[in-house]
Structure 1
C-alpha cells in the first residue's frame, strides 16, 4: 500500500504507519493512494491528526508509579493532553479514595464532570495545588472544568454499588460501631484500634482486598473554637458544601474539611486584613502552600479580628471527604461485619493538639452502639488472594499495613486453601506493638500461616525493618517466587514500599544472578501475571 503521509510530515514510523492505516480504512483504498490520499490529507486539520495520533498512543502512562515524585511525573506528562497531565498529578495508587481511579478522576475533572479537586487524599495538598495550576494554565482545554474548590461529590464511576444493597459512596449505609479496641499494650507510643462495624440489614458485600469508606465528623472542640473565633452564631442557617441548609456549627462538624484551608478562604482573609505584614503572610501561604498540620483555625488566628460572615466562610471551605481503610476481615469468617485496623493520629503543633478526623472519631468520639456512615470501595487493582488456592503468598505489611493480610488469612482458612502463606510484619516494640499476635500464633498452630518473620525497629540499637528480614531470608524467598508465589505489599508508599521493592529486586538479582535489565523484566512479568500487588498509601 502506498503512503498517504508524506515523508516530510512530522511523524515517526509508528505514527506514520497508524495514520496510513487510518486513511486507508477511511477511503477504502488498498492500492495506490495517489492524488486521492493527498486530497484526503489536505482536507484534514493537521492539528487534529497530531491530536489523534497522541490520543492513540496515550495508553502508555509511564508516570503511573506511586514511587515517583510528583515533579518527575509531571515532567513525563509535559507533552500530553490535559487529562493526562491531571492524571500525573494524582497519587498513582488507584486506591479508590476519590471514588474513581487516577485516570478516570483526571478525565472527569478535565471534562468538567467533577468539580471537587480535593478528592485525592493520598496526594494531599501537592496534588490539589498541581491540579489547580494545570487548570489555570490551560482553561481552554478543560471543557468547563472548574478551578475552584467545588462542592460536587464524586459521581463514583468506579465505585460499584455494594453488592445488590444499593449503598454506595453517594448513598452510604448508617451502620453501628460494635467495637473499637486498642491493639497496643502498655508502654506503646501508639494507639492502634481494631474496629468492628455491624453491617446487618444492609445487604452490603465485600471481598478481601476491598476498602471501607468511612464518612467522618470533625472534633466538636475544633468546631467550637472556629465558631468562637468568628464570633458567629452556631445555629444560624447556612448552605452546606454538600447541599441543603444546616445550622452553621452542624455543617462545620459534618460537611466541611477543617484541615487544609482552601486558597479561596486564604484569599478572602487576605483581602480584608488591614496589616500589610499579615496580608503578605497569607499571600505567601497561597503561593507556597500551607505547611503540614496547618488548618482552618490557624488561618483564622493569623487573620485575627477579620470579620467573615458564616455563609461566606462556609462557601470557601472544601467538602469533608470520606476516608478509606483496608478491610481486615473476610465475610466468610465474620459474616455481616467488617473489621478495620486504624491507627489513631494525634500530635501537637504550635501548642494545640491536632487530630486525625476519622481515626480519632473511631477511637474516641463514637461510643459503642452509635452510628457511622460507611460504604464499600471495591479494589480494582487485583489486590486479593490468588484465584488458585494452591498458590503460595508472600505478604509484607508493617504497622496498620497488616490489615488486609488478616483478611487474607481468614479467607484462606475459611476456604481451606492449600497454598503456603508467609507474612513479614514489623512495628516499634515486640512487647507492646505486636498487632494481632494471638491471632497470628493461632494461624501458625493451625498450619494456615506457614512462616512469620517480624521486625521490631526500636528493640535494638540497629533498627531492623521488614525489608531487612526479607534480605536475611533471600534464598528461601526467591525459591517461593520460583514456585509461583504472589507477592503483596501494604503500607506506607513514600518509604516502606520503596524499600521493600528495592530489596525484592536485589534478592532477585543476587539469587537469580540477573542483570538489572533481567530483574526489571522478571518483575514486570510478575506484575503482568498478577503476582505482584501493592496496596500503599
Structure 2
C-alpha cells in the first residue's frame, strides 16, 4: 500500500530524530535491521505483544517530558537501542499518559527537563503535580531511573528531575541508577548514561522471543550500497545563507533580522511549529580579548574531552563563552582562590542576578589571576546549539527555512557583549556563507488537523516567527479557518515585524484579524494582554467556536500575563469564577487547544 505524502513526511521526521546520531557503520546496521523486518513481512513484529498490552514486568517503560525536544530525543534513542536488543519498550510522552498509570509499572526510565524558573515542561505538569503532592501513590513495586536535563546557567538546574527523583523514592520506588543531571553538553552525558542504564535493566528484563537483532539482509556484493546521509544535532547540515535583512529600522532600540537559509540537498523536512537548531561560533574579537586578558597562546594545542585542538579553535566554536554558569564560577574560584566569588555562590538569588549581566570575559576582567590553558578550558562547558522557531512554510519556500532573530546583547564601555548565535546571525553572516543547522521537531506545537478550525496566535516580538509560518501554511493549503494574530512591540514605525506581509494577508482574507500593541507609542504602556482584554467578547466567541490558542515568546512575564488575560476573558464573558475559568483553560490544554512555546 502506497504511503500518502503526509505520512511520508511524518515518518521521515521521526526517523531523522531516531538516527541522527548514527555513524556510517551504524547506519548500515540499521538499514539491514529495517530491511530484515520488511523481508519478514512484519511477521517478527506480529509475534510479539504490543507494548501497551505486554506484561508490565517484562516491559521497559520510558516516559519523557520536554520543552525543546532534547528529552524526547534522549528517550527515543534509548528506546531504539533497547528494542534492537530485543526488549519490549513502551515509549510515551508525559502529555499522553494518565499520571496514575505509574502504579501499574514495574520498570520506569524517566527523562525529564526543567523549564523556566525550576518549572516542569507543560506536558509534564500533571505528572509533576501528582508525584510531588500528598496524593502521590505508593510505588513499592517500581524500579526507576531519572535522566534530568537542564542548564547550569540557571539557578534551578535540573530542579524538576531532582523533585521527581526524590518523590519516586519517597513513594517507595527503588532507584535503579543514580540520577544523571545533564547540562547543555547533552551528548557526553547521554553517551555515558545509555549503556549504563541498559546494563542495569537487563537483570529485570528478558529479550522477547523473536527478537530482531538476528535479522540480516543479503546483498549482492557486486552492487555498492550507499548509506543515506542523515542530518541532526550531532551531524548538522551546512546550510547556505540566502538572505540577511533587517526587520527593524533606526532609531529602534532593537536589532531584529530576517534570515533565509537553503536546505537544498539536505533531505531535511520540517513543519510549521518546528525549530531550527543552530551551532554558533563566537565573535573573533571576543576570543582575542579573552586570550589577551589571560595571556594564553591561541595556537597552543589543548586537550578537552579526549580531543586535542588549538586553544583558539576551542574558544571559537566548541566552548561556551557568552553564558556564565555555576560550574564555571565554582571551578574558576577554586583555581584562583577567589574568596569574593565563593561568597557570591552562597547567595543563590544574588548569584543568579550577577550571572545574567556577565560573560566569561567579564569574570576574567573582574577577578584576574594567572592560569594555564588546560586549567582555563577545564572551567568551561561545551557550547550548546541555539533553537529558533521556524518562520516559514515548506509549502511556500521549498527547500528553504526562514528565521526571525533579535540581537541579544548590551554595550559595556563601547564593547558589545552579545549572545553567540544572535551576534553571528545578525552581524556576521552574509549571503553565500554557511551555517551548521538541524531541524528540531516540535510535535506539541502544531496547527489543528482540521483546516476549518479557528486559530488565535499571540506572538509579541520575535515570538511572531512561528505564526508567519502558520498563516503561510494555511493560506497555501486553502484552509478556510479564521486566523487572528495578536502582535506587540515598542514602536509601530520602527518595530512592526513583517508589517507588509500581515497587511497583504488581511487584504487576501488569509488573516482574519490583526490586533497590535505598541507599548511605547503612548504615555500608558499597552501590551498584547491588554488587547486581549479589550476585545474579550470577540475572543470569547472564538474560544466558544472551538478556536485553538497559541502563545510564543517570553515565558518570564508575557506568557503568564496573557494566560491571566485569557482567564479573565472567560470569567467575565461566561459569568464564572476565576477558578472555573482556570479549569476551562486546563481542559483546553488537555484537548490540545491551548499551546505555548516560551523561552
Normalised TM-score (structure 2): 0.66
Q: 1:283 aligns with which of 314, 318, 342?
A: 342
Deviation at 1:296? Answer: 1.4
Show the counterpart of 1:238: 302
The match for 1:389 is: 451
- Asked whether 1:92 is paired with 2:123, we answer no
Instruction: Write out aligned runs for 1:58-137 (5 A).
Output: 60=99, 87=114, 90-93=118-121, 111=145, 119-120=150-151, 124-128=153-157
1:491 to 524, 534, 553: 553
CA contact (8 A) 1:86 1:134 kept: no
Is 1:433 matched up with 2:495? yes
Match of 2:406 among 338, 343, 350: 343
1:29 match: none
Query: How far does residue 146 in structure 1 lie from its aligned partner after superposition?
Result: 6.0
Q: Tell me which residue corresponds to 1:459.
A: 521
Taking the aligned partners of 1:303 and 1:432, their CA distance within structure 2 comes to 40
Q: CA deviation at 1:92?
A: 3.4
CA distance in 2, matches of 1:185, 1:515: 45
CA distance 1:376–1:302, shift in 2 (3 Å): same
Q: Distance in 2 between matches of 1:457 and 1:191?
A: 17
Any residues of structure 2 matched to 1:387-536 within 5 Å, and which?
387-536=449-598
Distance in 2 separating the partners of 1:364 and 1:230: 26
Equivalent residue runs for 1:132-147 within 5 Å: 143-144=177-178
**1:231-273 Cα deviation digits (max 9, x unpaired):** 11111111245x6321101111111111334545434443454
**Quick check: 1:135–1:147 contact (8 Å CA) kept in 2?**
no
State the match for 2:286 in structure 1. Answer: 222
The answer on whether the counterparts of 1:265 and 1:313 sit within 8 Å (CA) in structure 2 is no
Aligned residues of 2:112 and 2:161 also touching (Cα < 8 A):
no
Structure 1 unmatched ranges of 5 or more: 1-24, 27-57, 62-80, 96-101, 104-109, 158-163
How is 1:113-262 mapped onto 2 (pairs within 5 angstroms)?
119-120=150-151, 124-128=153-157, 143-144=177-178, 153=187, 155=190, 166-241=230-305, 244-262=307-325
Alpha-carbon distance in structure 2 between the residues aligned to 1:136 and 1:363: 41
Q: Residue 353 of structure 1: CA displacement? A: 2.6
Q: CA RMSD in A?
A: 3.6
Aligned to 1:319: 382
Distance 1:525 1:112 in 2: 29
Counterpart in the other structure of 1:8: none
Conserved? CA contact 2:165–2:179, under 8 Å: no
Q: Distance in 1 between matches of 2:503 and 2:590?
A: 34
How big is each residue's C-alpha offset from its partner over 1:279-334, in whole Å with a ceiling of 9 and x where there is no partner?
22121233333511222112222332x22111221122111000001100000000
Distance in 1 (CA, whole Å) between partners of 2:279 and 2:486 is 31
Q: Deviations over 1:188-216 (max 9, x none)?
A: 11111101111001000000000001001
Which residue of structure 2 aligns with residue 15 of structure 1? none
Aligned residue for 2:478, secondary structure, equals coil
Report the CA distance between 1:355 and its aligned residue.
0.6
1:535–1:440 CA distance, 2 compared to 1 (3 A): same
Give the deviation of 1:365 after TM superposition: 1.5
SS in 2 for 1:347: strand
Structure 2 residues not aligned, in runs of 5+:
1-55, 58-96, 101-107, 130-143, 194-227
Shift of 1:475: 0.9
Q: Quick one: distance in 1 between partners of 2:534 and 2:366?
A: 52
Paired residues of 2:455 and 2:481 also in contact (CA < 8 A): yes
Deviation string, structure 1 residues 57-97 (Cα, Å, up to 9, x no partner) = x9649xxxxxxxxxxxxxxxxxxx997997587553469xx
Tell me the residue number matched to 1:19: none
Q: CA deviation at 1:173?
A: 0.8
**What residue number does 2:396 align with?**
333
CA deviations 1:354-393 (Å, max 9, x no partner) are: 1111111001122221111101110032x12111000111
Structure-1 separation of matches of 2:496 and 2:488: 8
**3-state DSSP of counterpart to 1:204:** coil
TM superposition shift of 1:174: 1.0
Shift of 1:455: 0.8
Q: Does 1:364 align with 2:427?
A: yes
Hey, what's the Cα distance between the residues in 2 that align with 1:313 and 1:295? 15
Aligned residues: 436
1:191–1:307 Cα change, 3 Å: same
Inter-CA distance 136–211: structure 2 relative to 1 (3 Å threshold): closer
Q: In 2, distance between residues paired with 1:352 and 1:142?
A: 50
Tell me the SS of whatever aligns to 2:240.
strand
SS in 2 for 1:260: coil
**TM-score, normalised with respect to structure 1:** 0.73
Displacement of 1:409 in angstroms is: 0.4
Assess if the C-alpha contact under 8 Å between 2:147 and 2:180 holds in 1: no
1:233–1:248 CA contact under 8 A, matched in 2: yes
> How big is each residue's C-alpha offset from its partner over 1:392-415, in whole Å with a ceiling of 9 and x where there is no partner?
111111110110000000100100
Query: Which SS does the other structure have where 1:488 is aligned?
Result: strand
Distance 1:355 1:513 in 2: 48
Instruction: Give distance in 2, aligned partners of 1:379 and 1:150.
Output: 19
Q: Report the Cα offset of residue 477 of structure 1.
A: 1.0
Given that residues 451 and 479 in structure 2 are in contact (C-alpha distance below 8 angstroms), is that contact kept between their aligned partners in structure 1?
yes
* Correspondences of 1:19-34 after superposition (within 5 Å): none
Contact 1:207 1:330 in 2 (8 A): yes
